[in-house]
A and B are shown apart, each in its own frame.
Chain A
Amino acid sequence: MSRVEAILSQLKDVAANPKKAMDDYKAETGKGAVGIMPIYSPEEMVHAAGYLPMGIWGAQGKTISKARTYLPAFACSVMQQVMELQCEGAYDDLSAVIFSVPCDTLKCLSQKWKGTSPVIVFTHPQNRGLEAANQFLVTEYELVKAQLESVLGVKISNAALENSIAIYNENRAVMREFVKVAADYPQVIDAVSRHAVFKARQFMLKEKHTALVKELIAEIKATPVQPWDGKKVVVTGILLEPNELLDIFNEFKIAIVDDDLAQESRQIRVDVLDGEGGPLYRMAKAWQQMYGCSLATDTKKGRGRMLINKTIQTGADAIVVAMMKFCDPEEWDYPVMYREFEEKGVKSLMIEVDQEVSSFEQIKTRLQSFVEML
């Protein structure tokens, strides 16, 4: 097995076994883990506390039964899965769960956690251009920090936070580099591997993830770029899972040359910048700088233009919109984006992502005919 294969295999293992990743961490450090609900959280605080932040983005193919009692069928697919897992006690080993509430569904879900872990809720301000929004978010972060300290029984110092911010910034930079490398070497990093590299970062300490991805990049870049005889796409949406779905991309030689997935590149889009102000203030400013996300209010609606630019920059043939079923923020963005794609002659295909579904024949047929059209 080559080093590239070995690293990818390790990351795929982590991505596929979050529980093991958490148990290993606990055994190694004697500390626990904190759940991070989508979409954005001040994860650096959890890291600075010495706990392992664990992303909570649902599961795959789980039949919804217990959650039906608490959620109607038109709740978004990720939250159906999360609710089912809550009911099963899957998250009860977490020391706490941090909840942001940037959509109506998350507001409600933040009020009805069925597990045993304490829930820490905070609200992102949405009038993001204003300094008052930064001040508001700093206070929300201060409260999150105080609750975390109380629940975990640790003090989070500014020095520890600065250290964590630096580690997170480096990880984000390395992941942005990885996105480019994956675009240049689709023969090495296929859709499944690409996703695994992103997914693993939710269940690992970022410094460990960074080290592995850096090594992966160096190994790959040491080999020559090969011509790609397949198609290239930019994907957008909340997430693009499971591997069976990504296998279809591989089967039809569709390389993912960039993404705007909430679970993937949106997490690494903006850094916590150096500058004036303490760590919490600079973390709040990062939210102000966020762009191109359905959950971050933008009255200029720049997401469509951002995606079109991504296709130009990467030479992509098309955009694939991975529409999370019953995610209304994403559904509201779509008509404007679609019109902009059409106006600019950018080809696009929308596929529906439903975590409960385990059959992908329909998507396969649609992707196949789409590729033939490109």
Chain B
Amino acid sequence: MSLTQGMKAKQLLAYFQGKADQDAREAKARGELVCWSASVAPPEFCVTMGIAMIYPETHAAGIGARKGAMDMLEVADRKGYNVDCCSYGRVNMGYMECLKEAAITGVKPEVLVNSPAADVPLPDLVITCNNICNTLLKWYENLAAELDIPCIVIDVPFNHTMPIPEYAKAYIADQFRNAISQLEVICGRPFDWKKFKEVKDQTQRSVYHWNRIAEMAKYKPSPLNGFDLFNYMALIVACRSLDYAEITFKAFADELEENLKAGIYAFKGAEKTRFQWEGIAVWPHLGHTFKSMKNLNSIMTGTAYPALWDLHYDANDESMHSMAEAYTRIYINTCLQNKVEVLLGIMEKGQVDGTVYHLNRSCKLMSFLNVETAEIIKEKNGLPYVSIDGDQTDPRVFSPAQFDTRVQALVEMMEANMAAAE
């Protein structure tokens, strides 16, 4: 009988998250390759080659959520990383430096011994993709330089006009073929195209069930608490090309569907207003952001961030143009007009009453268009919004009091609109 038999989705999530890290540790111990990857870089190539994958952004978010970011940020600070640099990147560079020191001296630095960070091994190669920011190019340049290891780059050019042109897809698909050649050299064996097809199919099944979960937010009242998407995100990032993600997401989507049928909703009848969260979660204060909204009886039913991993494509397309499109159409890699359309679609589907914009100190790409995005959307659907200051992993930026004041104002506006409509 399978170890996971009878587990609920929440248990599966914890189990497979731990297992992914364990897989990497065991691979390293066997002398096999470990790759660190950007969160929306295509894992299909490395997984086909049997390379264990670790995702520094997820790892850093986990460290942040477990209140361990400060130690790693201080290590990065000592190495010369400016506080302006993305905190995921700084946490990861700090962690990498600790691992490197341990590998060289044979002694784990104290800061690592005391860290709540999940134990992951150093990489033998890295793969990056700039579909969610160009910072990932700089960060992975540094990983490759500091560890003297190969770096595979998948460059998806910013789509300043939409739809995505064929010449961009052709360039990206060519990079896919180049990545495969690089991996053949690194691994010293030919690429297994048959397995590649299976991995692509697996990825598509994971994405299918991931989308099933997000889909549940369209019901009113909602059986899905949108913050759960943040919790389950770890697997769509780290395990989408393995069945770990598929098994977990299917279980969760099934549970939600059963709940819906049984009339069991996320807020158990207390859902008054529904909001969109735009931006990355404030991981070190995730509990606070969720609870504050819950206390105001406001439920998140729309967020584009977890939808970044809606990486559906045609797995049979041998030109790989379809896969290229999936990896480049990420809404933050497109023009403002498209970004607005994507968010409007999410708001409509989730039947939201307003938006919280996270002005994220770490993420310039997901902050510098917030004003324009909010204004255009307000003009189109008339829904209220507020902006809150925060950071994805540096706990010092977020102010709980500011957050509470701003979201109270939002909820008041949303409730006033509802009252006026009645």
Q: How far is the CA of A362 from the CA of B158 in the complex (A)?
A: 39
Mark out the residues of chain A between 106 and 130 whose CB falls within 8 Å of any chain B CB in the assembled complex.
Answer: 107-112, 121-127, 130
For residue B138, CB closer than 8 A to chain A, the reply is yes
For residue B174, CB closer than 8 A to chain A, the reply is yes
Question: Contact between A331 and B368 (Cβ–Cβ < 8 Å)?
Answer: no
Among the listed stretches B6-14, B46-54, B128-136, B252-260, which one makes contact with chain A, having 4 or more residues with CB under 8 Å of it? Answer: B128-136
Among the listed stretches A16-24, A215-223, A274-282, A297-305, which one makes contact with chain B, having 4 or more residues with CB under 8 Å of it? Answer: A297-305
Mark out the residues of chain B between 323 and 375 whose CB falls within 8 Å of any chain A CB in the assembled complex.
Answer: 335-336, 359, 361, 363-365, 367-369, 371-372
Question: Contact between B170 and A132 (Cβ–Cβ < 8 Å)?
Answer: yes
Closest to B166 in A: A139
Closest to B361 in A: A74
For residue A357, CB closer than 8 A to chain B, the reply is no
Among the listed stretches A65-73, A200-208, A230-238, A312-320, which one makes contact with chain B, having 4 or more residues with CB under 8 Å of it? Answer: A65-73
Question: Contact between A332 and B135 (Cβ–Cβ < 8 Å)?
Answer: yes
Among the listed stretches A191-199, A241-249, A334-342, which one makes contact with chain B, having 4 or more residues with CB under 8 Å of it? Answer: A334-342
Closest to B367 in A: A72
Q: How far is the CA of A122 from the CA of B86 in the complex (A)?
A: 25
Contact flags B367-400 to A (C-beta < 8 A → 1, else 0): 1110110000000000000000000000000000
Residues of A within 8 A of B196 (CB): none
Q: How far is the CA of A333 from the CA of B142 in the complex (A)?
A: 8
Interface centre among A110, A111, A133, A334 (most CB of B within 10 A): A111
Question: Contact between B153 and A328 (Cβ–Cβ < 8 Å)?
Answer: no
**How extensive is the interface on chain A, given as a class?**
35 or more
For residue A326, CB closer than 8 A to chain B, the reply is yes
Question: Contact between A104 and B365 (Cβ–Cβ < 8 Å)?
Answer: yes
Minimum C-beta distance from A356 to chain B (A): 15
Given contacts A121-B160, A126-B153, contact A333 B138 (CB under 8 A): yes
Q: How far is the CA of A338 from the CA of B363 in the complex (A)?
A: 24
Question: Contact between B142 and A336 (Cβ–Cβ < 8 Å)?
Answer: yes
For residue B402, CB closer than 8 A to chain A, the reply is no
For residue A105, CB closer than 8 A to chain B, the reply is yes
Closest to B372 in A: A112
Q: How far is the CA of A121 from the CA of B84 in the complex (A)?
A: 26
Closest to A110 in B: B160
Closest to B139 in A: A332
Question: Contact between B157 and A332 (Cβ–Cβ < 8 Å)?
Answer: no
Q: How far is the CA of A169 from the CA of B137 in the complex (A)?
A: 30
Question: Contact between B368 and A125 (Cβ–Cβ < 8 Å)?
Answer: no
Given contacts A333-B138, A335-B79, contact A108 B155 (CB under 8 A): no
Question: Contact between A332 and B142 (Cβ–Cβ < 8 Å)?
Answer: yes
Given contacts A72-B367, A74-B364, A130-B175, contact A331 B137 (CB under 8 A): no
Q: How far is the CA of A71 from the CA of B80 in the complex (A)?
A: 26
Minimum C-beta distance from A272 to chain B (A): 21
For residue A102, CB closer than 8 A to chain B, the reply is yes
How many residues from B make CB contacts under 8 Å with A? 51
Question: Contact between A101 and B135 (Cβ–Cβ < 8 Å)?
Answer: no
Closest to B174 in A: A132
B158, B359, B361: the one within 8 Å of A107 (CB): B158
A122, A127, A299: the one within 8 Å of B175 (CB): A127
For residue A60, CB closer than 8 A to chain B, the reply is no
Minimum C-beta distance from B361 to chain A (A): 6
Given contacts A74-B364, A332-B85, A335-B81, contact A132 B171 (CB under 8 A): yes
Minimum C-beta distance from A265 to chain B (A): 21
A74, A124, A335: the one within 8 Å of B142 (CB): A335
For residue B168, CB closer than 8 A to chain A, the reply is yes
Q: How far is the CA of A130 from the CA of B364 in the complex (A)?
A: 28
Residues of A within 8 A of B84 (CB): 74, 325-326, 328, 331
Given contacts A130-B174, A136-B171, A335-B80, contact A328 B138 (CB under 8 A): yes
Given contacts A301-B144, A328-B84, A334-B82, contact A111 B171 (CB under 8 A): no
Q: How far is the CA of A300 from the CA of B171 in the complex (A)?
A: 22
Residues of B within 8 A of A104 (CB): 133-135, 363-365, 368
For residue B117, CB closer than 8 A to chain A, the reply is no
Q: How far is the CA of A101 from the CA of B332 in the complex (A)?
A: 13
For residue B26, CB closer than 8 A to chain A, the reply is no
Minimum C-beta distance from B233 to chain A (A): 21
Question: Contact between A328 and B86 (Cβ–Cβ < 8 Å)?
Answer: yes
For residue A294, CB closer than 8 A to chain B, the reply is yes
Mark out the residues of chain B between 131 and 171 whose CB falls within 8 Å of any chain A CB in the assembled complex.
Answer: 133-135, 137-142, 144-146, 150-151, 153-155, 157-158, 160-161, 165, 167-168, 170-171
Question: Contact between A125 and B134 (Cβ–Cβ < 8 Å)?
Answer: no
Minimum C-beta distance from B267 to chain A (A): 33
Minimum C-beta distance from A132 to chain B (A): 4
Minimum C-beta distance from B283 to chain A (A): 19
Interface centre among A103, A107, A133 (most CB of B within 10 A): A107
For residue B178, CB closer than 8 A to chain A, the reply is yes
Q: How far is the CA of A70 from the CA of B387 in the complex (A)?
A: 13
Residues of B within 8 A of A336 (CB): 141-142, 145-146
Q: How far is the CA of A126 from the CA of B93 in the complex (A)?
A: 22
For residue A86, CB closer than 8 A to chain B, the reply is no
Given contacts A126-B130, A132-B174, contact A301 B145 (CB under 8 A): yes
Q: List residues of chain B with CB under 8 Å of any chain A CB.
A: 79-82, 84-86, 89, 93, 130, 133-135, 137-142, 144-146, 150-151, 153-155, 157-158, 160-161, 165, 167-168, 170-171, 174-175, 178, 335-336, 359, 361, 363-365, 367-369, 371-372
If A135-B171, A331-B81 are given as contacts, then 6 extra A-B residue pairs at C-beta distance below 8 Å, sorted by A number, are A107-B134, A127-B175, A136-B157, A299-B144, A332-B139, A339-B79
Q: List residues of chain A with CB under 8 Å of any chain B CB.
A: 69-72, 74-75, 101-105, 107-112, 121-127, 130, 132-133, 135-136, 139-140, 294, 297-301, 323, 325-326, 328-329, 331-336, 338-339
Provide a sorted-by-A list of 19 A–B residue pairs whose CB atoms are within 8 angstroms. Answer: A70-B371, A72-B367, A101-B160, A104-B134, A108-B365, A109-B368, A111-B335, A111-B336, A112-B368, A126-B130, A132-B170, A297-B155, A299-B140, A323-B82, A331-B81, A331-B84, A332-B89, A332-B138, A338-B80
